[in-house]
């Protein structure tokens, strides 16, 4: 078995999304960062996932780092400690944000939410939000959900006294415009995918009128949370079909919503709404339509044909390396709201959540391999989905080649594919832990890496609302798979071995 398909016997890390890349290659020629720069949590057993979610010390003490918005990188924690020592008292704590605009917005939000006085302190070119201890959880929530974070590269340069000025986001905009269908000047780069989503939400004119937003199909958890926390509330339609979908379209045409959000395809159920019908309703109701294409990527889907704005995580398929975090928002040039979005997104991408120059340099390097990587990933994703669907122990598989296929193919780019993200459940749910434990692949959150990655998605994303997720059709036993670049025979062999325990 290839060294790419591997797991660990302890709680280590699979990748570092924001650390310096120290690249090496495995025996298949697939580039792998040095393990000392790991970031995405590797939880090799079902019990370790439960212990992690329960906050048990036996797991947490072994974690060196984690996904940046959820688990601060050690270098970022050092930055926070330095800020805490300089600007906070014993009864206060801090979060460090990249810009004045970001910290001012965080100040207003945390103060209102925590009902306590907070303050801002300049910190040698960065900004510290100083909060009483009782408001720390709210400050951390702003860091996580807004996505307006300080990356570990930026933190390291700051601590080394080598913080860099300038930007290379314009070069990324130019490179991405070759894939997205949006002009370079309509492509805005952010420090994370969630920062891009937050910026688009903030730009909606209807938000200032008190309107709620509408979410179609079960989304990535934080996309829904952003609308709940930073908007006026969100109306959520779990399954965009039938009479409920018809009613939603009618309400869109009546102009009820500040904006309509969906994902193509959705994560983790990989469903796709009828974009043509939604876009037409949004046009009739003068309602912005926002589509996120992170799960499949712009080489596979051409969402810009339907959406006013397309958001995406550059951390995932476009980077492919799992060593940098970034996001993008692309505007459709002929959207009636194009100028409104241009003005707002340009300001936010520059003043609120700009991508640090060192992170941009890594992404510019990684993006060169995107087309070639995606071709292999598409092939592996479709092949594994078909194999799993035919397996006698598997109850259901979700993948765009199997799920809402007609709707997905309507937005598929010429020469595109169905992507490498899929989910499945087995017929004997109680045996899921044994299957997961037996899988000899990397295990942890995130997706889009060059290596195959599996996680019990619902446990990690919805542990404290499992009943609600189950009611939305997302089983607690669902396993989500991000296919990598390994030979498909090796990927299937790993799943065949694991499913023998089902």
Which CATH code is given to the segment(s) 169-366? 3.40.640.10
The mean per-residue pLDDT over the stretch 74-85 comes to 94
pLDDT band at 66 (very low <50, low <70, confident <90, very high): low
Q: 426 CB contacts (<8 Å, ≥6 apart)?
A: 393, 394, 395, 432, 435, 477, 499, 502
Q: 266 CB contacts (<8 Å, ≥6 apart)?
A: 217, 218, 219, 220, 272, 295
Percent above pLDDT 70 for the chain: 90
Asked if the model's pLDDT at residue 118 lies above 60, the reply is: yes
- Indicate whether this model's pTM tops 0.75: yes
Strands 309-313 and 259-263: unpaired
DSSP symbol at 412: B
What are the φ/ψ torsions at residue 418 (nearest 5 degrees)? -100, 0
Cα–Cα distance for residue pair 17/362, rounded to 1 Å: 11
How does the average pLDDT of the chain come out, rounded? Answer: 90
Cα–Cα distance for residue pair 270/294, rounded to 1 Å: 11
Asked if the model's pLDDT at residue 23 lies above 50, the reply is: no
The full set of domain ranges for the chain reads 13-24+34-67+369-499, 74-146, 169-366
Residue 216 tokens, joined: 């179609």
The predicted-structure confidence for 454-500, as pLDDT tens digits, reads as follows 999 999 999 999 999 999 999 999 999 999 999 999 999 999 999 99
Helical (H) or strand (E) element with 189:
strand 187-190
pLDDT band at 91 (very low <50, low <70, confident <90, very high): very high
The rounded Cα 172 to chain-centroid distance in angstroms is 18
> Into which CATH architecture does domain 74-146 fall?
Roll (3.10)
The predicted-structure confidence for 124-173, as pLDDT tens digits, reads as follows 999 999 999 999 999 999 999 999 999 999 999 999 999 999 999 999 99
DSSP symbol at 212: P
Q: 437 CB contacts (<8 Å, ≥6 apart)?
A: 44, 45, 46
Residue 296 tokens, joined: 């499949």
Cα–Cα distance for residue pair 457/67, rounded to 1 Å: 14
Higher pLDDT, 221 or 382: 382
Residue 112 tokens, joined: 């209102």
The rounded Cα 65 to chain-centroid distance in angstroms is 17
Residue 65, pLDDT score: 61
Cα–Cα distance for residue pair 36/376, rounded to 1 Å: 27
Instruction: Tell me if domain 74-146 and domain 169-366 are identical in fold.
Output: no
Q: 329 CB contacts (<8 Å, ≥6 apart)?
A: 187, 188, 190, 196, 197, 199, 200, 309, 310, 311, 312, 341, 345, 349
The predicted-structure confidence for 177-220, as pLDDT tens digits, reads as follows 999 999 999 999 999 999 999 999 999 999 999 999 999 999 99
Cα–Cα distance for residue pair 86/81, rounded to 1 Å: 9
pLDDT band at 42 (very low <50, low <70, confident <90, very high): confident
Give, rounded to a whole angstrom, the gap between the first and last alpha carbons of the chain: 21
Percent above pLDDT 90 for the chain: 84
Among residues 60, 7, 14, which one has the least CA distance to residue 38? 14
Cα–Cα distance for residue pair 334/165, rounded to 1 Å: 34
Among residues 154, 159, 118, which one has the least CA distance to residue 135? 118
Asked if the model's pLDDT at residue 31 lies above 50, the reply is: no
Cα–Cα distance for residue pair 205/207, rounded to 1 Å: 5
Cα–Cα distance for residue pair 113/52, rounded to 1 Å: 27
Asked if the model's pLDDT at residue 14 lies above 50, the reply is: no
Helical (H) or strand (E) element with 299:
none
The predicted-structure confidence for 214-265, as pLDDT tens digits, reads as follows 999 999 989 999 999 999 999 999 989 899 999 999 999 999 999 999 999 9
User: Under CATH, to which class is 13-24+34-67+369-499 assigned?
Assistant: alpha beta
The predicted-structure confidence for 309-361, as pLDDT tens digits, reads as follows 999 999 999 999 889 999 999 999 999 999 999 999 999 999 999 999 999 99
Asked if residues 195 and 68 have their Cβ atoms less than 8 Å apart, the reply is no
Cα–Cα distance for residue pair 228/132, rounded to 1 Å: 24
Length of the chain: 502
């Amino acid at each position: 078995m290839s060294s790419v398909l591997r797991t660990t016997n302890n709680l280590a890390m699979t990748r570092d999304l924001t650390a310096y890349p120290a690249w090496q290659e495995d025996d298949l020629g697939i580039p792998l960062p040095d393990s000392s720069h790991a970031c995405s949590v590797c939880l090799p057993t079902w019990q370790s996932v439960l212990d992690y979610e329960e906050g048990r010390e036996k797991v947490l003490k072994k974690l060196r780092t984690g996904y940046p918005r959820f688990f601060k990188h050690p270098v970022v924690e050092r930055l926070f400690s330095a800020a805490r020592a300089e600007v906070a008292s014993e009864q206060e704590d801090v979060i460090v944000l990249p810009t004045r605009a970001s910290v001012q917005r965080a100040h207003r939000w945390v103060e209102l939410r925590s009902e306590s006085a907070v303050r801002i302190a300049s910190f040698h070119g960065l900004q510290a939000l100083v909060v009483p201890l009782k408001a720390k959880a709210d400050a951390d929530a702003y860091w996580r959900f807004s996505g307006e974070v300080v990356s570990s590269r930026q933190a390291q340069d700051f601590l080394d006294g080598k913080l860099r000025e300038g930007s290379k986001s314009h070069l990324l905009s130019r490179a991405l415009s070759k894939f997205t269908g949006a002009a370079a000047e309509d492509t805005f780069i952010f420090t994370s995918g969630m920062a891009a989503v937050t910026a688009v939400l903030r730009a909606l004119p209807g938000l200032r009128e008190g309107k709620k937003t509408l979410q179609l199909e079960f989304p990535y958890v934080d996309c829904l949370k952003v609308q709940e926390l930073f908007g006026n509330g969100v109306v959520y339609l779990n399954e965009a079909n039938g009479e409920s979908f018809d009613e939603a379209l009618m309400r869109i045409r009546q102009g009820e919503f500040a904006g309509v959000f969906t994902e193509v395809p959705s994560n983790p159920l990989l469903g796709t709404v009828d974009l043509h019908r939604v876009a037409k309703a949004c046009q009739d109701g003068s309602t912005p339509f926002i589509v996120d294409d992170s799960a499949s990527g712009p080489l596979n889907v051409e969402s810009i044909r339907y959406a006013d704005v397309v958001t995406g995580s550059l951390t995932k398929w476009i980077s492919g390396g799992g060593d940098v975090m970034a996001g993008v928002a692309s505007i459709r040039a002929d959207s009636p709201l194009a100028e409104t979005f241009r003005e707002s997104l340009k300001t936010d991408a520059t003043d609120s959540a700009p991508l640090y120059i060192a992170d941009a340099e890594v992404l510019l390097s990684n993006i060169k391999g995107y087309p070639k990587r995606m071709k292999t990933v598409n092939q592996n994703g479709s092949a594994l989905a078909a194999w799993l669907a035919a397996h006698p122990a598997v109850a259901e598989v979700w993948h765009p080649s199997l799920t809402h296929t007609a709707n997905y193919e309507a937005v598929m780019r010429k020469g595109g594919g169905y992507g490498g993200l899929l989910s499945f459940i087995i017929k004997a749910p109680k045996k899921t832990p044994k299957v997961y434990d037996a899988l000899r692949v990397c295990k942890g959150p995130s997706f889009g890496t060059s290596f195959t990655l599996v996680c019990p998605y619902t446990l990690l994303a919805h542990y404290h609302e499992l009943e609600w997720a189950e009611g939305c059709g997302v089983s607690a036993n669902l396993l989500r798979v991000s296919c990598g670049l390994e030979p498909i025979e090796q990927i299937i062999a790993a799943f065949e071995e694991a499913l023998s325990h089902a």
